[in-house]
Structure 1
Amino acid sequence: MRITCPNCQFSQDIPEEKIPPKAEQATCPKCRHKFKFRDLSSSFKLSEEPEATPIEQNDKATEKRQSDLEGENKENIWEKLESMAEGTEQKKVDRDSLAEDEADIPWEHLEKYGFFPGLFKTIKEAMLSPANFFARMKLTGYSKPLVFYLLLAEVQAIANFIWQMVGLMPMISSQGYAVPGMGIVGLGSAVILILYPILLTILLFMVVGFNHLFLVLVRAGTSGFQGTFRAVTYGSAPMILAIIPFIGPLLGGIWAMVVTVIGYKNIHRTSYVKVFIAMFLPIILGIVLGVILRFSSSF
């Protein structure tokens, strides 16, 4: 039975078996308003009552005590409901707090996790549980994902530079200047370390825009450009493996591609089929265009 307070509209479902048979009134646990929640009065009433016998008097006394007890029960019935409701609300608050904690991207809450713990925890979650990581992600801006991406790119570039300096990897240079991962004519390593984030940011937005265009074409870009941007930036987490010489960059690149695909799927709430079509469609179009140009040049 659902009991609703006519004063404050607070309501609660109460099992029939827990309501005393003769209870008619209840006290609202919220506003303390007393009201009649059902009518048990009989439609027929005897005109005369015979004189009560001693046995009947005892029965009436027992009935009166039972009625008083039921009166206490009916007043306390919503008091129990109040404690039950408070317990339910507490559980709901706990679940909400837990859900909010689980929704945190550690890198975006460094005040809570700290810089290095937040960085490493984000990298770990993105690499080892990408589906859950991206599914719970909220779209809250570009700056923090961009800094995360550039930071990993700088670590990768510096690691490559160190391995080149110690001779573990081939040196990439231009006009005598050693370059961390790339060569630019007329610029030294120090200048490149400054320009590298700027050039990488421009390239990043170009790549994300290109990828998002094809996701939209196959109707797989439901979370917008920011969703694709976050999949690419946080999907680069495995590139931390570039600190391992030789196999690190290759392994990190393959792993990052897999994580990014999972990111597209979970952020945009789409299917892997659409994601793969969006990724391979540019390659197919490029092959077709190359074949057309080759045949056209032969005539």
Structure 2
Amino acid sequence: MNIICPQCGFSRELPADRLPARAVIATCPKCACRFRFSAEAGVLETLDAPTARAAAPGEDDPLPPGAIVPGRSPEHTAAETADTTEDGGGRRTESAPGQAEPEEEDIRRTASKAYAREAARLEPETERDAGHTVEANPWETAPGRNGWLAAFYQTVMRVMFAASRFFGALNPEAPQLRALSFYLVVCVFQTVVERFWGGMLLTIMAPSAATDPQLEKMLALLAPQTNLAMTLLLRTALLVLQLYVFSGLVHLAYRFVAPDRTSFPLVFQVMAYSSAPALLCVIPGLGSLAGMIWGLACMAVGCRAALRLNWPQTLLGFVPVCLVMAPMFLQLLSAVQA
């Protein structure tokens, strides 16, 4: 996106992955104009447009050492400031040619830092935590400073409780292997936990099944037919296949709904990271159901934020997935009623 200052016309190209998910305030590094803009609507309003007065001939420069004059480079400003010093009587005198003032290097360094800070304000602010820059997606840079477990935990928390902000900062050029590895960790954890709760249920209901033939038949159907290693292998392979199929269907739908905004890498990442709520399976009973509903909500919010869509476009993209899932839900409902 090309961000253009409404005051002086200075422009800067900002990559799509750095665009903010909401309206932010930017300051033009050339004229110091402060304005509010968003990725969808562009410049919304101008807050103020401060200007600097240049010194007239014969007048002392009113700017303090290290001040930044809009429209001039930091080196030019620092050189002008360093060329004059005050003598003991308070009058300003010029330095001799080739003679370096003691404070010249400090002035240049201060001016460069201030100019860099002003230039950086045209870019969205990064999230900070205890004075350190926090990555938008900790799993992409794992193990990082705190290791794999901390990166996984932080990513899960952001997906579940800050979905719009997390998915809005996804990088379309990020390797899909990172998102896939996150998905595999969730799948393995979910399979092991559900196997554990299933075994607990069979153990509790086994005494009652001895006197109830129907309950005994039902428990026989629920009992695992393979060992844990084979279950992990088969179920993980099935879930990975499901991930790619659903990502392809949603991407195909968005090719018709919003062809200029769709991106398979972004859709794939949204689908993979939206598996985070499945960790609620640690709660026996309704944990798995709550995790599935929460995950669907994260998918919708994620596609809207990552692809910059509106809600009608977002929901239309899930129509093919609903058509594929409908027969499975109907079969499950018939089995429950029977």
Common fold by TM > 0.5: yes
What amino acid is aligned across from residue 256 of structure 2 in structure 1?
L
- TM-aligned CA deviation for residue 141 of structure 1: 1.4
Q: 1:240 and 1:285 mapped to 2: Cα distance?
A: 24
Structure 2 gaps of 5+ residues are 1-29, 32-50, 62-72, 81-88, 128-132, 207-216, 327-338
Structure 2 residue 137 is the aligned partner of structure 1 residue 105: yes
Give me the whole-angstrom Cα distance separating, in 1, the residues matched to 2:325 and 2:238: 25
Deviation track 1:6-53 (CA, whole Å, cap 9, x = no partner) reads xxxxxx888326x2641599xx97489989xxxxxxxxxxxxxxxxxx
Q: Structure 2 counterpart of 1:137, which letter?
A: L
Give the aligned partner of residue 196 of structure 2: 162
Q: In the aligned structure 2, how far is the partner of 1:138 from the partner of 1:272?
A: 21
In structure 2, give the amino acid aligned to 1:165. G
Higher strand share: 2
Q: 2:92 aligns with which of 69, 74, 79?
A: 69
1:178–1:189 CA contact under 8 A, matched in 2: no
Does residue 1:87 correspond to 2:105, yes or no?
Answer: no
Residue identity opposite 2:92 in structure 1? L
Q: Secondary structure at the match of 2:309?
A: coil
Structure 1 residue 115 displacement after superposition = 1.1
**Aligned counterparts, 1:76-225, within 5 A:** 83-90=110-117, 99=126, 101-112=133-144, 113-139=146-172, 140-167=174-201, 178-179=223-224, 187-219=226-258, 222-225=261-264
Work out whether residues 220 and 268 of structure 1, in 8 Å CA contact, stay in contact via their aligned partners in 2: no
Take 1:33 and 1:114, find their aligned partners in 2: how far apart are those partners? 44
Aligned pair in 2 of structure 1 residues 283, 115: CA closer, same or farther (>3 Å)? closer
The CA distance in 2 between the partners of 1:225 and 1:160, in whole Å, is 31
Contact 1:103/1:137 (8 A) holds in 2: no
Shift of residue 177, structure 1, vs aligned partner: 9.0
AA matched with 1:237? A
The one-letter amino acid paired with 1:83 is T
**Pairwise CA distance, 1:239:** 0.7
SS at match of 1:16: coil
How big is the shift at 1:148? 0.7
Q: Cα RMSD between the aligned structures? A: 4.4
1:220–1:275 Cα contact (<8 Å) kept: no
1:22 aligns with 2:48: no
Instruction: Give percent identity, aligned residues only.
Output: 20
Select the structure of larger CA radius of gyration. Answer: 1
CA contact (8 A) 2:78 2:111 kept: no
The 3-state SS of whatever aligns with 2:113 is helix
Structure 1: stretches of 5+ with no match in the other structure: 1-11, 36-64, 288-299
Distance between the aligned counterparts of 1:158 and 1:126, measured in 2? 22
Task: Tell me which protein shows more helix as a share of its residues.
Answer: 1
Paired positions, count = 235
Q: How far apart, CA to CA, are the structure 1 residues paired with 2:151 and 2:247?
A: 25
TM-score of the pair, normalised by structure 2? 0.57
Equivalent residues in 2 for 1:22-61, closer than 5 Å:
22=58, 30=75
Amino acid across the alignment from 1:163: W
Aligned residue type for 1:15: A
Tell me the alpha carbon deviations over residues 82-110 of structure 1, each in whole angstroms, 9 at most, x when there is no partner: 73343232566799896384443111222
- Do the aligned partners of 2:168 and 2:305 also contact (CA within 8 Å) in 1? yes
SS at match of 2:201: coil
- Check whether the contact 1:177–1:189 (CA below 8 A) recurs between aligned residues: no
Q: Distance in 2 between matches of 1:202 and 1:285?
A: 14
1:125-173 deviations in whole A, cap 9, x for unaligned?
1100101001112120111111111111111111111111111799999
